Structure 1
Amino acid sequence: MGPGTAVRWRRRVSRWRRTALAALICGAVVLPLSGAARPEIPAPAPAALAAPTAGTLEEAYAANRANAAEASRMAAAHGDRHRAAANRSMADPSRRLLAFDGRGAGLATEVFGDLAHADRVAVLVPGSDTSLDTYGRFRAAALALHRRLAAQAPEGALPGRTPAAVVAWLGYETPGTVSTTVATTGRADRAAPKLRALVDTLRGVTGPDARLALLCHSYGSVVCARAADGLDVADIALVGSPGTGADSAAGLHTSARVWAARGADDWVQHVPHLSADLFGSTVGFGTDPVSPDFGARVFAAGDGGHSDYFKTGSVSLTNLARIALGEITEVTHD
């Protein structure tokens, strides 16, 4: 390739990036959403509970299951059989619900394992299009991770502790993949204080010695980034991330180890890692978290797509479990 050809290629790439960013801005700010809004589904207010402790966890689980059961009855009376079934599943006696709110799109925090005695806790933070109506796929990811942790974890490092627990945190209103909110930090900014509060709650249950890790998928990585400043966690892993809104890992102002990975077949690699101010909002999330410029510890994620990071048997799931367990300190590669 001659010098002239190289210059022309760089110009074409630059034009493509500008065009793609323009399309992103148009989709995020200008185009209206298609389809009518879904009617509000009636549900009770969340159970009024004190902050849980190791000794009151079972009471909290029971109260939230009872709230989910009432939400199921109300949804059924409203004629929404799908939401009624989703809520009824949440109310099953086997479920450990740390929080539940059946109103609107719905919120839930579910525990897998013995949280009170776990010396390692992995918190899953989901991306777009996650709600009570789609919760099953998020729960499947949490279950797969919990099984992987159980298989990989050593015995509890502390007396009276168990190896690992997983917390599936649907604690914020996620944006739609095709929406006016998915390309801005607005939802993440509102979610960040809630994620910080969750970490405080977990510390109140597990005590200061447990190792906490945030595993953040897609738009969830933006949420984790907005909450990261001074957060009491050991690791923050960003997978399938469109960016964080920060220029670098150092810009997250965290003492946690910051990890990043992207599957070879993940469409998010084609999202322009740029940002632009438009009508008082910043559209786009800046530096690619797997790029050297960002400065995260980049680890192998295999050849999976955007929804495959927690797939049973995958390279990414194995490495995410190793990160949560504190088993690796440096990058890994395919």
Structure 2
Amino acid sequence: MALVVAGAVVVPLAGAGRARVPAPVPAVPAAAGLDATYAAHRGNAREAARMADAYGDRKRAAVDRALGARQLLYFDGRGDGLVTEVLGDLARADRVAVLVPGSDTGLDTYGRFRAAALALHERLRDEAPDGTHTAVVAWLGYETPGTFSTSVATMERAEEAAPELRAAVTELRAVAGQRGQRTRISLLCHSYGSVVCAEAAHGLDVDDIALLGSPGTGARTAAALHTRARVWAARGGDDWVENVPHLSVDLPGTTVGFGTDPVSPDFGARVFAAGDGGHSDYFAPGSVSLANLTRIVLGDLRAVTS
């Protein structure tokens, strides 16, 4: 049975490159504040680009070089790489969306993850009411499992990632919306990222958690996540994850599979429409799912379609 569950999660997608490219130890900001943080991690990314060039990995060097010109709350170019990028003015934002990616996401495949964040950022900018400021955070803050790996069917990576996600939310609470009002934070969690968000959810100070193309969360119900946040779920009509057996099998030292389907009535999430898209289409420009995610982030909950 465990092999059935694990095998169902393995889909015909190209895995991310797993080259161990040299890079410096992550930078420590010399002073407090967003500007100092951004500057420190931009410098770290530029140094990583130089090291990747010397190593002969031109593709990684190009990714690092591009990141060296962006707003980075964190950057670690070692191995598969970790990065937290901010789109928008975080200090003024009263609506923040945090994107949490699924399997095979690293610096070598960062472009596709960033494209999702950009699409949401642009939609939020276009639809936010006057006086509402938004930001999107692309949080690649954990070592994602490979699509063709046993770890993609277990909680192990999610358990390792959850403390990092909690810390990231705490940091965002400290720096976002510095205008004397509470910032609304939404977690938008794709595929295995939904397992990470569920593991971190207990007591987490966020307003909404959206599970997109989720194989399950490890919890039987949304209530079992022990969160005050609204829990949402969606699955596109052409998403292969629908065929994943929603089982949970205990084996010595681990559990394989993630249990209840988050879009099923038994789970109890707020299910919203995602159109006919596939597993990678939740943030596609013009899509039903992107429209609904925008409404969730902005707090326009009555407009979310099901």
Q: Give the match for residue 49 of structure 1.
A: 29
In the alignment, structure 1 residue 170 sits paired with structure 2 residue 143: no
**Kept in 2: contact 1:297–1:331 (CA 8 A):** no
In the alignment, structure 1 residue 155 sits paired with structure 2 residue 135: no
**Which residue identity does 2:261 align to in structure 1?**
D
Q: Give the match for residue 73 of structure 1.
A: 50
Matched residue SS, 1:117 = coil
Matched residue SS, 2:144 = coil
Deviation at 1:211, TM superposition (A): 0.4
The whole-number CA distance in structure 2 between the counterparts of 1:180 and 1:79 is 31
Deviation at 1:216, TM superposition (A): 0.4
Consecutive unaligned residues of structure 2, counting only runs of 5 or more, are 10-14
TM-score (norm 2): 0.93
The whole-number CA distance in structure 1 between the counterparts of 2:146 and 2:247 is 20
Choose from 54, 59, 78 the match for 1:82: 59
CA RMSD of aligned residues (A): 2.1
**Which residue identity does 2:111 align to in structure 1?**
G
**Kept in 1: contact 2:30–2:40 (CA 8 A):** no
Deviation at 1:25, TM superposition (A): 4.1
Deviation at 1:23, TM superposition (A): 2.2
In the alignment, structure 1 residue 119 sits paired with structure 2 residue 94: yes
In the alignment, structure 1 residue 24 sits paired with structure 2 residue 5: yes
**Kept in 2: contact 1:298–1:331 (CA 8 A):** no
TM-score (norm 1): 0.85
Q: Give the match for residue 32 of structure 1.
A: none
**Which residue identity does 1:136 align to in structure 2?**
G
**Which residue identity does 1:108 align to in structure 2?**
V
Q: Give the match for residue 12 of structure 2.
A: none
In the alignment, structure 1 residue 138 sits paired with structure 2 residue 108: no
The whole-number CA distance in structure 1 between the counterparts of 2:270 and 2:8 is 32
Deviation at 1:178, TM superposition (A): 1.0
**Kept in 2: contact 1:247–1:286 (CA 8 A):** yes
Q: Give the match for residue 191 of structure 1.
A: 161
* Residues 197-227 of structure 1: CA deviation (Å, up to 9, x unaligned): 0000001102560100000000000000000
Choose from 64, 68, 74 the match for 2:41: 64
The whole-number CA distance in structure 1 between the counterparts of 2:107 and 2:155 is 22
Q: Give the match for residue 11 of structure 1.
A: none
Q: How many residues align?
A: 299
In the alignment, structure 1 residue 229 sits paired with structure 2 residue 202: yes
Deviation at 1:26, TM superposition (A): 6.3
**Which residue identity does 1:244 align to in structure 2?**
T
**Which residue identity does 1:288 align to in structure 2?**
D
* Residues 89-133 of structure 1: CA deviation (Å, up to 9, x unaligned): 1112xx111110000100000000100001100000000010000
**Which residue identity does 1:314 align to in structure 2?**
S
Equivalent positions of 1:1-334 (< 5 A) are 22-25=3-6, 38-49=18-29, 56-92=33-69, 95-156=70-131, 162-206=132-176, 209-329=182-302, 332-333=305-306
C-alpha distance 41-250 of structure 1, shift in aligned 2 (>3 A): same
The whole-number CA distance in structure 1 between the counterparts of 2:30 and 2:227 is 29
Deviation at 1:236, TM superposition (A): 0.3
The whole-number CA distance in structure 1 between the counterparts of 2:287 and 2:31 is 36
The whole-number CA distance in structure 2 between the counterparts of 1:148 and 1:330 is 15
- Which moved further from structure 2: 82-91 or 260-269? 82-91
Consecutive unaligned residues of structure 1, counting only runs of 5 or more, are 1-17, 29-34, 157-161
Deviation at 1:180, TM superposition (A): 1.4
**Kept in 2: contact 1:27–1:179 (CA 8 A):** no
The whole-number CA distance in structure 1 between the counterparts of 2:40 and 2:21 is 21
Deviation at 1:331, TM superposition (A): 6.0
Deviation at 1:61, TM superposition (A): 0.9
Matched residue SS, 1:62 = helix
What is the identity percentage for the equivalent residue pairs of Structure 1 and Structure 2?
70
Matched residue SS, 1:116 = coil
Deviation at 1:249, TM superposition (A): 0.2
Deviation at 1:63, TM superposition (A): 1.1
C-alpha distance 269-287 of structure 1, shift in aligned 2 (>3 A): same
Deviation at 1:329, TM superposition (A): 4.8
- Which moved further from structure 2: 165-174 or 77-86? 77-86
C-alpha distance 230-38 of structure 1, shift in aligned 2 (>3 A): closer
Matched residue SS, 2:278 = coil
